[in-house]
């Protein structure tokens, strides 16, 4: 409890200092580099951004676009996990599956998700299907590689002991490999979700209507820097929420599994 409280108040001090510096920069014309009037356009005051946040929230505009992006990310992320986890287990468990799939994985995994945007728009048009496809392709490989690593790091002594005792392939997977896989899978899902958000923002900024990326584009094209900043902060707050209340507890609860699997 003491460590958590220390982390909170120290983080609050840092955020307060950032807001103070931000206010000073906006009020002084970016510390004298431009006029205050111009700086309010380039970097609006914190109070102005907060006011814009309340207006967007009250109108429903913010919730509508955020919920659209969240739904797209969840759909693409679930599809990626549904493909990557079974494929990763199969590749780690069978040399034949690994040999067949590895060339494709090596070829496609270095390609950033943003590079799929033009292809997705050509194939699916402007809409949810294109965004979901881009998210799935962009987040599948971190999950896949973590799954392979988790299964491969299972203690071979435990696997041999289970086989000696007559355990079936499914029992070995469930009783021995799964405890080794889970911590790696949490890390892979965490990375995959981070990639999902980056990709959906890029997709929504270049042609997919509605969503957080669309809000960024509108803010930029209309010169509404306050709207752009609100969108960025909301995106950051969403990721902090997911990290703090989903992945951090999962990682803490499974870290001992990882240590015991390696030792």
Model's pTM, two decimal places? 0.81
Q: What would the mean pLDDT of 44-61 be, rounded to a whole number?
A: 90
Question: pLDDT per residue over 218-233, tens digit each?
Answer: 888 888 888 889 988 9
Confidence band, pLDDT 50/70/90 cuts, at residue 159: low
The per-residue pLDDT of the chain, averaged, comes to 82
Q: What would the mean pLDDT of 108-119 be, rounded to a whole number?
A: 84
- Give percent above pLDDT 90 in the chain: 17
Question: pLDDT per residue over 12-21, tens digit each?
Answer: 888 899 989 8
What pLDDT is attached to residue 169? 66
CATH number for region 64-262: 1.10.3720.10
Who wins on pLDDT, 178 or 11?
11
Question: pLDDT per residue over 182-192, tens digit each?
Answer: 888 888 888 88
Who wins on pLDDT, 104 or 34?
104
Confidence band, pLDDT 50/70/90 cuts, at residue 262: very low
Confidence band, pLDDT 50/70/90 cuts, at residue 143: very high
Residue 155 Rama label (left phi>0; alpha psi -120 to 50; beta): beta
Contact by Cβ (8 Å): 193, 81: no
Surface-to-core class of residue 99, CB atoms within 10 Å of its CB (0-12 exposed, 13-18 middle, 19+ buried): exposed
Lowest mean pLDDT among 7-11, 159-163, 198-202: 159-163
Confidence band, pLDDT 50/70/90 cuts, at residue 11: confident
Q: What would the mean pLDDT of 22-26 be, rounded to a whole number?
A: 86
């Amino acid at each position: 409890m003491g460590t958590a409280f220390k982390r909170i108040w120290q983080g609050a001090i840092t955020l307060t200092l950032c807001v103070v510096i931000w206010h000073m920069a906006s009020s002084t014309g970016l510390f004298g580099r431009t006029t205050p009037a111009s700086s309010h356009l380039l970097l609006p005051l914190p109070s102005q951004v907060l006011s814009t946040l309340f207006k967007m929230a009250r109108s429903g505009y913010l919730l509508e676009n955020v919920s659209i992006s969240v739904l797209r990310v969840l759909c693409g992320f679930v599809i990626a996990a549904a493909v990557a986890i079974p494929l990763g287990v199969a590749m780690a468990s069978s040399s034949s599956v690994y040999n067949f799939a590895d060339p494709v994985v090596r070829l496609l995994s270095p390609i950033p998700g943003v590079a799929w945007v033009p292809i997705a728009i050509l194939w699916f048009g402007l809409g949810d299907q294109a965004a979901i496809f881009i998210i799935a392709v962009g987040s599948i490989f971190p999950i896949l590689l973590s799954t392979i690593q988790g299964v491969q790091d299972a203690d071979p002594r435990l696997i041999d002991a289970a086989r000696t005792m007559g355990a079936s392939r499914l029992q070995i997977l469930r009783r021995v490999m799964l405890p080794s896989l889970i911590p790696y899978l949490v890390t892979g899902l965490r990375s995959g979700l981070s990639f999902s958000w980056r990709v959906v923002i890029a997709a929504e900024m270049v042609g997919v209507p509605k969503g957080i990326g669309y809000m960024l584009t509108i803010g930029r094209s209309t010169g509404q820097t306050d709207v752009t900043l609100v969108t960025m902060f909301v995106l950051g707050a969403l990721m902090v929420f997911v990290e703090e209340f989903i992945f951090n507890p999962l990682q803490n609860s499974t870290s001992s599994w990882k240590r015991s699997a390696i030792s």
